[in-house]
Structure 1
Amino acid sequence: MNADSLILPGLSNIADDYDGILCDVWGVIHNGVRVNPGATEALSRFRDKGGRVVLITNAPRPNPPIYEQLESLGFPRHAFDSIVTSGDVTFALLHAHEGDTVVHIGPDRDYSLYEGTGLNVVSDASEAPDGGLIVCTGLFDDTSETPEDYHARFEGLIARDFSMVCANPDLVVERGDSLIWCAGALARDYAAMGGKVQILGKPYKPIYDQALGELEKLSGKPADKSRVLAIGDGLPTDIRGAHTQGLDVLFITAGIHGADFGETEAPEEELVKKRLADEGLMARAAMPRLAW
Structure 2
Amino acid sequence: MTQLIQNLTDISPRYDALFVDLWGCVHNGVTAYPEAVKALQSYRKSGGIVILVTNSPRPWKAVSEQLIGFGVPTDAYDAIATSGDSARAAMYLGAVGSDVYFIGAAGEQDVFLAPMDLVAEDAVAINTVPLERAEGIVVTGPEDAMADPDVYRADFLYAKQKGLKLLCANPDIVVDRGETREYCAGAVAALYTEMGGQSLYFGKPHPPIYDLARRRLAQVAQISDDKILCIGDGIGTDIMGGLGEGLDTLFITGGLAAHEFGDDPQSPDPERLKHWLADQNLSPTVAISFLR
TM-score band by shorter chain is over 0.9
1:91 Cα deviation after fit: 1.1
1:61 Cα deviation after fit: 1.5
Q: Which residue is 2:131 aligned to?
A: 125
Describe the SS at the equivalent of 1:243.
helix
1:277 Cα deviation after fit: 2.2
Within a 5 Å distance, the mapping from 1:1-16 to structure 2 comes to 6-16=3-13
1:5 Cα deviation after fit: 7.3
Q: Which residue is 2:152 aligned to?
A: 150
Return the TM-score normalized by structure 1. 0.92
Q: Which residue is 1:240 aligned to?
A: 240
Q: Which residue is 1:266 aligned to?
A: 267
1:140 has 2:143 as partner:
yes
**Structure 2 spans left out of the alignment, 5+ residues:** 116-124
- Between the aligned partners of 2:166 and 2:183, the Cα distance in structure 1 is 17
Taking a change above 3 Å as real, the CA distance of residues 150 and 5 of structure 1, as seen in their structure-2 partners, is closer
CA RMSD between the two structures: 1.5
Describe the SS at the equivalent of 1:226.
helix
Describe the SS at the equivalent of 1:134.
strand
Question: Among residues 3, 15, 18, which one is paired with 1:18 in the alignment?
Answer: 15
Contact 1:6 1:269 in 2 (8 A): no
1:97 has 2:94 as partner:
yes
1:275 has 2:276 as partner:
yes
Q: Deviations over 1:221-241 (max 9, x none)?
A: 2x2111111100001110000
1:136 Cα deviation after fit: 0.8
- Between the aligned partners of 2:2 and 2:256, the Cα distance in structure 1 is 22
Q: Which residue is 2:69 aligned to?
A: 72
Within a 5 Å distance, the mapping from 1:1-292 to structure 2 comes to 6-97=3-94, 100-117=98-115, 118-122=125-129, 124-126=130-132, 128-129=133-134, 132-142=135-145, 144-219=146-221, 221=222, 223-263=223-263, 264-291=265-292
Contact 2:2 2:283 in 1 (8 A): no
Describe the SS at the equivalent of 1:84.
strand
- Between the aligned partners of 1:254 and 1:17, the Cα distance in structure 2 is 23
The count of residues paired between Structure 1 and Structure 2 equals 281
Describe the SS at the equivalent of 1:75.
coil
- Between the aligned partners of 1:41 and 1:139, the Cα distance in structure 2 is 33
Farther-moved stretch of structure 1 (259-268 vs 153-162): 153-162
- Between the aligned partners of 1:84 and 1:5, the Cα distance in structure 2 is 27
1:285 Cα deviation after fit: 1.3
- Between the aligned partners of 1:110 and 1:254, the Cα distance in structure 2 is 28
Q: Deviations over 1:19-46 (max 9, x none)?
A: 0000000110111012111110110000
Describe the SS at the equivalent of 1:256.
coil
**Structure 1 spans left out of the alignment, 5+ residues:** none
Return the TM-score normalized by structure 2. 0.92
Identity %: 38
Which amino acid letter does the alignment assign opposite residue 125 of structure 1?
L
